[in-house]
């Protein structure tokens, strides 16, 4: 008989409940992971606030959470701290074989559709998707490797050259991580656009050259930092049509706009005349590729500070308050702690 464990399951819009379930059993090629930290992502908030994301809708109660890590329990890897890659591609389709595993049409993803995620005490997950992490990396930082991976993939799609000029529109956690990647790549200038004052303040602390409100004089700001024609690459991380519009207006003619934000409705619109006259190239972000090793190296070397982006921590029993805090956007990254470190 399996041991009971505690989990947080979403039953309907805004209705997340703490309950008990059987602790999962690791199958062939899997390990049991005791979950130590789970980050709440913007996509989790779509499920919580809207009952779905895009064309995926809540069909049955779901355990959310795809930014997580923990400690392996039992087996050959017993006691090993790991980051959990939430994406389980098939590995055999044309997209997987060409290296675009994030585009696998039969992808299974933690905390999405019918696949339960990390907001529970234990998870059984494939060994090939468990990435070892050293003791110096905190539990919270382990959970932050997934959003850092998304930021890395977004940066790759931007085809950013060393020393290029960039803008980041939307300074939530992934936007703040992108700012740090731009700094690590020697980008100049780095422009941040964000409506919330506390996020603008953090963008300044993390190295943005110019931090603007969306209603600012964009042409004037570009001229002030020596790029009157616009930046080489603009990243949109907010998921709103006005943010896409700002990103387009910040990009130079012939520039690139990377759309990483997820809209509340399953559509995005923008002024075609601006895009056409500038000859802009758009790239859309679908999660990430095999970025965990790179993300971990950047954290270990101090090139990206993920711990400073964590603003709130909650026990699993207080998960409803954690979602309310994340939805209020009064901080930065909200972390839920399903289990405490063993003494």
For the segment 187-242, what is each residue's pLDDT rounded down to a tens digit? Answer: 999 999 999 999 999 999 999 999 999 999 999 999 999 999 999 999 999 999 99
Residue 154 and residue 118 share a domain:
no
Q: What is the dihedral of CA 239, 240, 242, 248, to 10 degrees?
A: 30
Residue 222 belongs to domain spanning: 150-284
Residue 16 and residue 82 share a domain:
yes
Residue 169 and residue 63 share a domain:
no
Residue 324 and residue 270 share a domain:
no
Residue 317 and residue 216 share a domain:
no
Q: In this structure, is residue 342 part of a structural domain?
A: no
Residue 58 and residue 113 share a domain:
yes
The number of distinct structural domains making up the chain is 2
Judge contact between 145 and 292, C-beta under 8 A.
yes
pLDDT over 90 (residue 340) = no
Quick one: pLDDT band at residue 55, thresholds 50, 70, 90?
confident
Instruction: Tell me which residue of 173, 184, 185 sits closest to 148, measured CA to CA.
Output: 173
Q: Is 143 helix (H, G, I), strand (E, B) or coil?
A: helix
pLDDT over 80 (residue 2) = no
pTM listed for this prediction:
0.95
Judge contact between 307 and 138, C-beta under 8 A.
yes
What's 332's domain CATH number?
3.90.180.10
Say how many CA atoms lie within 13 Å of 73 toward its Cβ. 18
Residue 155 and residue 127 share a domain:
no
pLDDT over 50 (residue 258) = yes
Q: In this structure, is residue 299 part of a structural domain?
A: no
Quick one: pLDDT band at residue 338, thresholds 50, 70, 90?
very high
pLDDT at site 54: 83
Residue 157 and residue 122 share a domain:
no
pLDDT at site 342: 54
Residue 234 and residue 155 share a domain:
yes
What's 199's domain CATH number?
3.40.50.720
């Amino acid at each position: 008989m399996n041991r009971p464990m505690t989990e947080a399951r979403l039953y309907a819009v805004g209705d997340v409940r703490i309950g008990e379930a059987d602790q999962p059993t690791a199958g062939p090629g899997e390990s049991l992971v005791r979950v130590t930290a789970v980050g709440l992502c913007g996509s989790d908030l779509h499920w919580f606030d809207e009952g779905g994301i895009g064309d995926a809708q809540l069909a049955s109660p779901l355990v959310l959470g795809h930014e997580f890590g923990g400690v392996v329990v039992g087996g050959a890897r017993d006691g090993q701290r790991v980051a959990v890659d939430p994406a389980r591609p098939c590995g055999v389709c044309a997209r997987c074989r060409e290296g675009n595993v994030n585009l696998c049409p039969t992808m299974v993803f933690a905390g999405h559709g019918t696949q339960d995620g990390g907001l529970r005490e234990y998870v059984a997950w494939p060994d090939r998707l468990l990435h070892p992490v050293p003791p110096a990396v905190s539990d919270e930082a382990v959970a932050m490797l997934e959003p850092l991976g998304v930021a890395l993939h977004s940066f790759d799609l931007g085809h950013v050259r060393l020393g290029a000029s960039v803008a980041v529109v939307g300074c939530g956690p992934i936007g703040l991580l992108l700012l740090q990647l731009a700094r690590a790549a020697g980008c100049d200038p780095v422009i941040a656009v964000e409506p919330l004052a506390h996020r603008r303040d953090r963008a300044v602390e993390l190295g943005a050259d110019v931090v603007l409100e969306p209603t600012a004089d964009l042409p004037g700001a570009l001229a002030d930092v020596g790029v009157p024609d616009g930046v080489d690459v603009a990243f949109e991380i907010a998921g709103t049509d006005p943010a896409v519009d700002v990103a387009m207006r910040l990009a130079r003619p012939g520039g690139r706009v990377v759309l990483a934000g997820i809209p509340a409705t399953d559509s995005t619109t923008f002024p075609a005349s601006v895009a056409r006259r500038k000859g802009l190239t758009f790239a859309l972000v679908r999660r990430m590729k095999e970025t965990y090793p790179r993300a971990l190296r950047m954290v270990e070397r101090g090139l990206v500070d993920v711990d400073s982006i964590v603003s709130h921590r909650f026990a699993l029993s207080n998960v409803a308050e954690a979602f309310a805090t994340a939805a209020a956007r009064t901080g930065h990254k909200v972390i839920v702690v399903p289990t405490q470190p063993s003494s």
